[in-house]
Every structure is written in structure tokens, then in C-alpha cells.
Chain A
């Protein structure tokens, strides 16, 4: 099965973009021309774009450096104050962002590792073995793209409360529970509660259609000769996977790891629902609790300086990852189309 046989392959950009890094440095198309006015205009447009994008973050940083009085003063202070470390400490220690930061890290690393591992082995099973279920399984995985968490949130939550409930229901329907009860007297009651646990935060997120797709595309480019050589040398499939395919797919891993880190660090709805015990909460969810009142600032103390310090704590790690891994990040994003 080549890429062309796959109806969706055309949806994933043109193949050339995959080989060459899309943002590879290239000489400017119009470099022979001398267009001083247009160049100035170009810089002006780009600079104003940068300001529009950066200014909100400057205001956040600015607010994080002010004291409670200053941040609520009118007119607003537009220059940084000296309370930055106090506010960060307040958010980190008093509001316990330290523990939540660690939780976010654990979840992000767990999801990234899990996604890469599961994408790799699934694609391996789909590409290097000849069985009839290859395409059905591939489609079963691919269709999950159309079911984002947000649209199936209520029943997914019910499943997280007991991850074995689907199997219990099937056993009940098919009468196997009844059979077991009559034969052995044991009541079948499968239960695995994932609420308030790292497992619940990680496992439902590691299924990955895009990762599987990316890995499958890569495995399809592995020449048959390599497989034959490995077989001739007596390597079994698992050894071939571990010693040849994994080292060859380092680029894939870097690209996937970057986008998946950002994705999992920024998860909000899922942890918001399944975590009620603060010791398992993550920073993105805790942010919401820093603002005194849900709809207005009336009544409670408007702790904007602490809230903005918290916003910075949440924002900095993924931004650093994106800036330093920019090349991999862009490649991963474009090749998976999300």
C-alpha cells in the first residue's frame, strides 16, 4: 500500500514539504530588486504585528510586578514595579503552584512518552505485518480525529469514573456475568476508578491518531531491503523495531514530542473535570482559581498581581519549548495537520 492508495494521504500536505524543512532558510525571492520604501513598510507591518502579539504578554508581566494597590490603581501603572519575585513566590508557595507545576510536568511527560510509544508500536503493527485487519484498524484509529474530547465529554467522564464499565456492560449483556455467577457464585463487578489519579490524567490522552499517522507515513518509506536484511541476519520483529526503526525515527520523535508537550501541558477541560483532589491538580486548571470572583471583581479582593504571576508560571515552560525546538515544532505541526 503506497501513500497514493490512501485516500487521506493527499490531505497531509505535499510530500516535498515533508522532506525539506518548510521553514528552511532560503534566499529572498526579490533580492535583486531595490525597494527601500516597500522594505520600510514591510518592517513597519511586521513590527506592528509583533507588538500586537507581544503587548498582552507585556501587560501580564507588568501586572505580575506590581503590588495589590498598584495593580488596581487608576490610571493603571504601565511600567514594571519591584514586586515580581514576591508575587511569583506568593503564587508558587502560598497558592501551592509548586506541587501543581510538578503534576503538570509528570502528566506532560507521561502523555508525551505514552503517545510516542503507542503511536510507534501501532504503526509498526500496521506496516510490517501482512494481515487483513490492517486497513480497518488504521481507519478505526483515524476516525477518532473527528471525536474531540469536547464533544464526547459527558460520557467520557462517566467512563473515567470506572474504566472497566464498558467491559462490565458487555459481560452483563451477553449473559457471561450470569453464567459466572451461576457456575462459581462470584459476582462480576469490574471497577477501576480513574478520577483523581495520574493514570486518569494520562491514559485517556495517549491514544493518538495524528502520531500513528505520522509514524505510519515514516514506516512506509522504509525500504523492503532493510526488512529483508534484518530477517536474514536473524532479527525478529521486536528487535528490528528496537534496533533499527526507533533509531531511524529520531526526527519523528522530536517533532511529535514538541507538539505533544505543548498539547498536554495546556490541557484544561479534562483535568478540570476529573480532578477534585487539589494534590493532583495541574497548573492550567489552578489558574482559574486565582481570580477572586467568577464573574466580577466585586466583593472579593482583586488579586490580579497574583493571577498574572500564575499566568506567567503556566505560560513559560511551553513557550520555551516552542522557541528552542522551533524547527521540530513547526515540522511536527505541519506534517500531522494537528
Chain B
């Protein structure tokens, strides 16, 4: 408990004011606004909004296209999370053995974090292009084998791979840090008892990595709901036939191209609750229930 404080509270007010102003204008106001729009209809000729109750939500939840976008988001979240966490976990566990070249392996796994989502999207769009990149080899041998421009499943797979590639670095950083915070005495004790390297990985390091694992899992799912925008926008634009129309992308399209503010706001509210629920799960349960020793 701190005992020594400064007395001039007007200075305190002065220094916290800028941040409070910004979050009021750009966070709380828009969020309230989204709530307001979600529960009202916009009058076609202006003149204020009309109360709509849950009508906007009813319209969205009975729209097949919305459910399609939920399905696509879940497939994307599951696919990208499994791929990137799996790869990051393998790399981190073996990099943690700190053999020769450890430093280079570490940088090699971290740098993709810095690549912007649209750059990742564009790069993979080129790589998976059926007629220009390396996939043209495959298509030359088996015509029509790979066509993300027309085939929705191929497009979704391509977006998942790009998203996973970008996320590996983040997961690797946390897994490696988690592995290195495991007390060294435990691993030495295992070695003394004759456990081999692989046995120690399976029986000591991986179980003790559980808290990090669940933390990273929740962050990955949350990110896949919000951060995927840049990749989808540069790779597929939500197509073909809305096969890669993730929830966050649908909000953007409905709001800014369809100019359906009420519908977009209602979708935003649903997505917001999802994100909040995941964050609460992370803070409430995972951090408490999973512990070392």
C-alpha cells in the first residue's frame, strides 16, 4: 500500500483527462451508439430513429446469410487456431532445447508477427493463385484441381492458411516464454530420475505449459473474430459466393456498402458479446483453474 502521495488533485485530473476524453469519444460513445442503432430503425427520410426493439436482431438471426457467416467464422477460427497453435507448439518445444543455432531459430519463428495482415493476404493470394503462382504447376498437371477463385472451400482453406501463418509467431513467443518459466529444477529432477528428453517434454513440460496454452487458445479465437479483416479483404473480398464472409467482414460490407446501419450495429453487438464472453472466460476461469504444481 502506497503511503506517499502528491496532494494537488487538480494535476491528477489534468493528466488523466486526455485519455478519458479519447476513450469517451472513440470507445464509449460509439459503443452506446451501436446499441442505440441496434434497437432502432433509421427513418428513410431522416427525422430521427424509430424504436424497433429486437426486430433488428430477429431479422439478422433469421437470415441464412448471417448463419453462413457464423459457420464460416467458426471454421476459420478452428482451422487457423489448430494449425498455428500446433505448429507454434512443436517449434517452441524443440527450440527450447536450445541446441546450436537457437538464436536464429527464434528469430526465424518471430519475424512473421511483424508482417501486416494485408501483406500476408496479398502474398498468399499470389502464392495460391491458380494461374500464376506455384499452384499453376499443380493445375497444369491436374486441371481444375485448385481454384480458390471459384471454389468456396478452396478459398476458405487459403484464408485459413494465411491466417495461421501470421499467427504462428505470436503463439511461439508465448509458448517459448511459458516453457522457459518452468522451474529448471523440475526438469533436472526428471533427468536425474532417468527420464529421456522426449519423456520430459511429454510428462513435465507440456502439462506445465497448460496455463499458457489456454491463454493462447482464447486469444487466438478472439483474434480470429476481429483481426481477420485485412486478410479476407485483400484475399477474397468475402467471396466466392460468401464462402469466406467472416462475421467481421460482413459487418463492414453491410454497414459501409449496404448502408444498413441498424443491421450492422446489431451484428456488432452480437460480436461484441462474443468477444466479451471470451475475455471473461479467460480472466474468470482459465487463469484460476489452471495452475502450476
Residues of A that sit less than 8 Å from B by CB? 1-2, 7-8, 10-11, 13-14, 16-17, 22-24, 26-30, 32-33, 35, 38-39, 42-43, 45-46, 49-50, 52-54, 56-57, 59-60, 63, 71-72, 74-76, 78, 118-119, 121-122, 124-131, 137, 140-141, 144-148, 150-159, 163, 166, 203-204, 206-208, 212, 220, 224-225, 227-228, 231, 236-238, 240, 262, 265-266, 268-269, 272-273, 284-285, 287-288, 290-291, 294-297, 302, 304, 307-308, 310-311, 314-315, 318-319, 321-323, 326, 329-330, 333-334, 337-338
Complex Cα distance A265/B114, Å?
A: 9
CA distance A129 to B239 in the complex (A): 54
CA distance A49 to B106 in the complex (A): 11
Residue in A155, A166, A204 whose Cβ sees the most chain B Cβ within 10 Å = A155
For residue B282, CB closer than 8 A to chain A, the reply is: yes
Alpha-carbon distance between A1 and B117 when the two chains are bound, in angstroms: 40
A57 cross-chain contacts in B, Cβ below 8 A: 115, 123
Say yes or no: B25 contacts A166, CB within 8 Å.
Answer: yes
- Seed contacts A74-B136, A130-B5, A334-B173; 9 additional CB < 8 Å A-B pairs: A26-B180, A28-B98, A30-B191, A33-B197, A46-B101, A146-B272, A146-B275, A148-B226, A227-B5
Main secondary structure of the interface of A (DSSP, over half): helix
Per the bound structure, the CA–CA distance linking A71 and B126 in Å amounts to 10
Tell me whether B46 is interfacial, beta carbon within 8 Å: no
CB of B234 within 8 A of CB of A287, answer yes
Within 8 A of A (CB), among B51-93: 87, 90-91
Q: Contact check, B22 vs A333: say whether CB atoms are below 8 A apart.
A: no
A244 to chain B minimum Cβ distance, whole angstroms, is 12
Tell me which of A220, A272, A326, A334 contacts B177 (CB under 8 A): A334
B 143-177 contacts with A by CB, 8 A: 149, 165, 168-170, 173-174, 176-177
Interface residues of B in 90-146 (CB under 8 A from A): 90-91, 94-95, 97-99, 101, 105-119, 122-127, 129, 131-134, 136-137, 140
B203 at interface, CB cutoff 8 A: no
Residue of A nearest to B6 (CB): A237
Asked if B18 contacts A50 (CB within 8 A), the reply is no
How far does the Cβ of A56 sit from chain B's closest Cβ, in whole Å? Answer: 6
Cross-chain contact A154 with B265 (CB below 8 angstroms): yes
In the complex the two chains form, what is the Cα distance from A224 to B170 in whole Å?
A: 37
- Within B1-54, the residues touching A (CB, 8 Å) are 1-6, 8-9, 11-16, 18-20, 22-31, 33-34, 37
- Residue with the highest number of chain B CB atoms closer than 10 Å, among A30, A72, A128, A326: A30
Given contacts A59-B134, A137-B16, contact A296 B149 (CB under 8 A): yes
CA distance A228 to B197 in the complex (A): 53
Chain B's closest residue to A152 (CB) is B30
Q: Which residues of B contact A308 (CB under 8 A)?
A: 122-123, 126
Within 8 Å of chain A (Cβ to Cβ): is B248? yes
